Structure 1
Amino acid sequence: MSPGPDASAEAPVVARLSTLDRLLPVWILTAMAIGLLAGRLIPGLGSALDAVSVSGVSLPIALGLLVMMYPVLAKVRYDRLDTVTGDRRLMVASLVLNWVIGPALMFALAWLLLPDLPEYRTGLIVVGLARCIAMVIIWNDLACGDREAAAVLVALNSVFQVITFAVLGWFYLDLLPGWLGLPTTDLDVSAWQIAGSVLVFLGIPLVAGYLSRRLGERTHGRDWYESRFLPRVGPFALYGLLFTIVILFALQGRAITSQPLDVARIALPLLIYFALMWAGSYALGRAIGLGYARTTTLAFTAAGNNFELAIAVAIATFGVTSGQALARVVGPLIEVPVLVALVYVSLAARRRWTALT
């Protein structure tokens, strides 16, 4: 993986990336294509992968995410977390962006651009309610964001997800549309389902990363841990990411490729959402005086979404073949390449930021 926020800024950031990281867009587009083709061409593959699931979440996807997140969380300096929790500007900005602006923006875009497609509209609104707790850690690390800040903000999102997801679902799908004279939708989701998603996708790799650093430094020292252990496990983050993408797109390859017009209709509000959330968060970070690393972390944690939870909720509530489930599956189809592109935008902004300071 790419160097963290403490790396020297003297040389261009992209030039310091490994060959594996520099060709990241190629690997990701290849993984997406393999997944889509496999799901389309191999009979029964999607059904077979979907059968190996718990509460609507594919176990192969869960495995890929755990492999993806562990190396990044093993890099976190847990003794520095107090410097993040004490940054009130960052904490308040993240809460407002994730739990006020993000859901409201997706609600508005879904109704403005999909007024005639209620199933897809509902699926997108659910996307807006599920804040990212997994892949955002990868995008942040690649963009040289603040790893400690990412760990804290992701944990904060996880707590708020358990507490507020069902309430916000009721507000945006039932109460608010009713006030506005629009059709309403019921969302049947339990706090246990959300807590289970948080435990699997964040809790397990977070505990593993913390114990790795604690035991590794205690046994062999920090220099050994950071110069020898982390370089060995680091590449597995990308391997896990690519594996997850292949499985994810294989699961819905047939649905995506057989309904291209529907996919395009769903993609438009998602593209606008990711662009507005990332750019707006980046502008806010600069306006309130955050440095490059924490501004980048703020932007990616606000723009990303928890597709694992949203897919599980859509499948459990509306069914695996529903329009709501399709809308959520299209999310990663748009989110992955867009956020990869924004990683490179961030790296370019980092060079300019350094030059101005």
Structure 2
Amino acid sequence: MNNENKKIGFFERYLTVWVAICIILGVAIGKFIPLIPETLSKFEYYNVSIPTAILIWLMIYPMMLKIDFKSILNATKKPKGLIITCTTNWLIKPFTMYAISSFFLYIVFKSFIPTDLAKEYLAGAVLLGAAPCTAMVFVWSYLTDGDPAYTLVQVAVNDLIILVAFAPIVGFLLGIGGITIPWNTLILSTVLFVVIPLLLGFITRNIVIKNKGMEYFNEVFLKKFNGITIIGLLLTLIIIFSFQGDRILNNPLHILLIAIPLTIQTFLIFFLAYLWAKAWKLPHNIASPAGMIGASNFFELSVAVAISLFGLRSGATLATVVGVLVEVPVMLMLVRISNNTISWFEKNSYERG
């Protein structure tokens, strides 16, 4: 199918609108019905908000169902694309996110953002930078005619790397930034929002496919979670903003200021991977998803860990949610750029080995 004829889903296309509506609803609840966030704040365990954790699970678990780890066995047939993905996502992206965000939050915006608050915003940016996308990248890949098998492989590999690299990278970068990290909470968050959903997704996937077949799994079972995922995301955002109401009302400009370094980082990482793929003479259907997965973020995980580490009222949590706000319009822009530069790759042939 020609990518001009492809359509992004209604919810995904207007995600920024839904987030904006959630901001308004959440702030209104926090302002006029403070009993709701006050009650929710009582349900915590090791600084993890139980109601929010349940909602985030509703978002993350369906994503983990889509991961076919058997596909990793075929990755050796296409090593170049995977090398680009892993190097960009794990050896470059977290550190450029830290550098770019530090520069803007501590230097460029110094007169607008107090230092203590800038530290919190930086923490949220780092959490976004250390978590490459695992869900929306399928949409971006589809819209640019990306190789679906390769997209699946890179997502599976990134999920495995997240298991061992996410916590150490976050801890290291936040430590450099002078931000105290409760390591027990960070490790607990990684287990709670990555390890357990990943294992349950793997087990569920294998059981359903074994009993019902692959076609039933893809066409029936996965689609049962579409509405649940959307509801989980929207309710989570409303809860977050009910706690963030005062901060947003007192500092509305901060939303824009946080978005600037996040946007710059998104473009930088995309073009780094995209042009690297071009230099290595990879085809467009490999180059595009390689750029997209690093450019977009696993914001569900970032939001969950920010809440666990710093609380629902923290600047870190606000920064991760701003990541949700800017992701769709920026990524749709990159989709257009990718589709308009297919000719760059027409003469490239995929080299195995």
Say whether residues 1:297 and 2:288 are aligned partners: no
SS at match of 1:115: coil
Whether the 8 Å CA contact 1:32–1:245 is kept in 2: the answer is: yes
Say whether residues 1:123 and 2:85 are aligned partners: no
SS at match of 1:252: helix
Say whether residues 1:113 and 2:104 are aligned partners: no
- Partner in structure 2 of residue 165 of structure 1: 170
Whether the 8 Å CA contact 1:84–1:148 is kept in 2: the answer is: yes
Q: Deviations over 1:145-170 (max 9, x none)?
A: 72442343244244223224333333
CA distance in 2, matches of 1:70, 1:302: 13
The Cα shift of 1:355 comes to 6.8
Whether the 8 Å CA contact 2:121–2:316 is kept in 1: the answer is: yes
SS at match of 2:168: helix
The Cα shift of 1:279 comes to 0.3
Letter in 2 for 1:62: A
Q: What is the TM-score with the length of structure 2 in the denominator?
A: 0.80
Which of residues 198, 211, 220 is equivalent to 2:212? 220
The 5-angstrom pairing of residues 78-227 of structure 1 reads 78-83=69-74, 86=79, 87-115=82-110, 117-131=114-128, 136-144=133-141, 146-173=151-178, 187-227=179-219
Q: Deviations over 1:231-256 (max 9, x none)?
A: 22233222221121111112222332
CA distance in 2, matches of 1:164, 1:26: 32
Q: Structure 1 residues 333 and 226 mapped into 2: Cα distance closer, same or farther (>3 Å)?
A: closer
CA distance in 1, matches of 2:258, 2:108: 10
- Partner in structure 2 of residue 255 of structure 1: 247
Whether the 8 Å CA contact 2:137–2:293 is kept in 1: the answer is: yes
- Partner in structure 2 of residue 28 of structure 1: 19
Q: Structure 1 residues 132 and 150 mapped into 2: Cα distance closer, same or farther (>3 Å)?
A: farther
The Cα shift of 1:45 comes to 1.9
SS at match of 1:130: helix
Whether the 8 Å CA contact 1:292–1:353 is kept in 2: the answer is: no
- Partner in structure 1 of residue 238 of structure 2: 246
Whether the 8 Å CA contact 2:135–2:298 is kept in 1: the answer is: no
The Cα shift of 1:111 comes to 1.4
Whether the 8 Å CA contact 1:34–1:246 is kept in 2: the answer is: yes
The percent of aligned pairs where both chains have the same amino acid is 16
CA distance in 2, matches of 1:165, 1:22: 30
Point out the more displaced range, 123-132 or 102-111: 123-132
Say whether residues 1:63 and 2:68 are aligned partners: no
Letter in 2 for 1:122: K
- Partner in structure 1 of residue 327 of structure 2: 339
> How many residues were matched structurally?
323
CA distance in 2, matches of 1:305, 1:75: 16
Letter in 1 for 2:226: G
CA distance in 1, matches of 2:331, 2:260: 17
SS at match of 1:287: helix
Which of residues 266, 274, 288 is equivalent to 1:286? 274
Unaligned runs of 5+ in 1: 1-7, 174-186
SS at match of 1:189: coil
Q: What is the TM-score with the length of structure 1 in the denominator?
A: 0.79
Unaligned runs of 5+ in 2: 143-150, 278-285, 347-353
CA distance in 1, matches of 2:303, 2:297: 13
Superposition RMSD on alpha carbons, in Å?
2.9
Whether the 8 Å CA contact 1:39–1:45 is kept in 2: the answer is: yes
Point out the more displaced range, 63-72 or 83-92: 83-92
Whether the 8 Å CA contact 1:102–1:277 is kept in 2: the answer is: yes
CA distance in 1, matches of 2:53, 2:130: 13
Q: Structure 1 residues 22 and 278 mapped into 2: Cα distance closer, same or farther (>3 Å)?
A: closer
SS at match of 1:137: coil
